[in-house]
Amino acid sequence: MRKKIVAGNWKMNKTLDEGLALASEVANIANDEITDDAIAVLCTPFIHLSAVGKIVAGSNKVFLGAQNMSEHAGGAYTGDISADMLNSVGVNYVILGHSERREYHNESNAELASRVDAALANELTPIFCCGESLEVREAGTHVDFVSNQLKESLFHLDAEAFKKIVIAYEPIWAIGTGVTASSAQAQDMHKALRDGFAAQYGQDVADEISILYGGSAKPANAPELFSQPDIDGGLIGGASLKARDFVDIIKSY
C-alpha cells in the first residue's frame, strides 16, 4: 500500500517562536487524532528545523522536512544548506524543485537531478515537485511538459532509487490563487504521471510511488481530492499555517 502523506510547506512564514508554537500544536493534535493510515511532514524554514526536530522526535505520525537543499556537500556556497546539515538536525524529507524555486531562482531540471542524488545519498526522502503554468495547461501540453520535468530530473535513477521518491504535482495556476483543480483534473494528471512511471520502471514500481497534490488544498476540498485513486496526499501551503486546518486535511483519509 502506498504511503499517504500530507506535507505542510510553511514557505517564508513564522518567526521562530511562532513556528515552535505551530509545530507543538500540530504534533499534539496529530498524535492524538490521526490514524496510522497517513503521516504528516512539517517543512519549515531553516531556522526552525533544529527545534522542530526535537518537538517531533520519536513520533511515528509527524516528521520533519526542509524546503530546499544544495547539491553540494559543503564549501563556499553562501546561503546554501547541505544534506549533511539537514541530517544533523533530524530532517527526514526535503522539498526539491518547488515551482517558486524554479521561477524565482531559475532552478533547472539538471540541477535538481543533482540535488535528488545528494538527498538520496544522505538518506533524505525528496518530495519532488513538478507542474505546469496556466499557459501550458491552456495549450494542452501539460502532460508532456510535466513528464519532461520528471524525465530530466529523475529517470536517471534505477528502480530501487526511484521508489524512494515522493512526487508532488503542482498545478502552478492553482497555487496561492484560491483556484483548485477539480478532483477530476487532478486525478487525470496523477494517473498520467503514474502511467509514465509504469512505462519507465514497470507497473509494480509505479504503484509504490506516492503522488501528492499541491494546489490550494484545504479542509473543504481535501476529502474529494483524497478520494481519487491516484492522489496519495497533499503538499499544503497556506492551510498548513493553521494547526486545526492542517490536521483536518490529514484526517480526510
In this predicted structure, the answer to whether residue 228 has a pLDDT above a threshold of 80 is yes
Is a pLDDT exceeding 90 seen at residue 217? no
Catalytic residue flag (residue 156) = no
Catalytic residue among 48, 71, 98, 107: 98
Contact 250, 12 (CB under 8 A): no
Is position 98 annotated as part of the catalytic site? Answer: yes
180 pLDDT more than 80 = no
- Residue identified by cell 495549450 is 139
On the question of pLDDT at 176 being above 70, the answer is no
Instruction: Domain count for the chain, please give it.
Output: 1
Provide the terminal-to-terminal Cα distance of the chain, rounded to the nearest Å. Answer: 14
Count of H helices and E strands in the chain? 12, 8
Judged against a pLDDT cut of 90, whether residue 88 lies above it is answered with: yes
- Residue 108 maps to which CATH number? 3.20.20.70
Mean pLDDT across 173-186? 78
Tell me the torsion sign for CA atoms 79, 85, 87, 90. negative
Q: Is the pTM of this model over 0.75?
A: yes
> CA separation (Å) from 48 to 43, 55, 66?
9, 11, 10
Would you state the pLDDT for residue 31?
85
Q: Which range of residues forms the domain containing residue 218?
A: 4-250
The pLDDT value recorded for residue 179 is 66
The DSSP secondary-structure symbol of 3 reads P
The catalytic position among 71, 107, 111, 170 is: 170
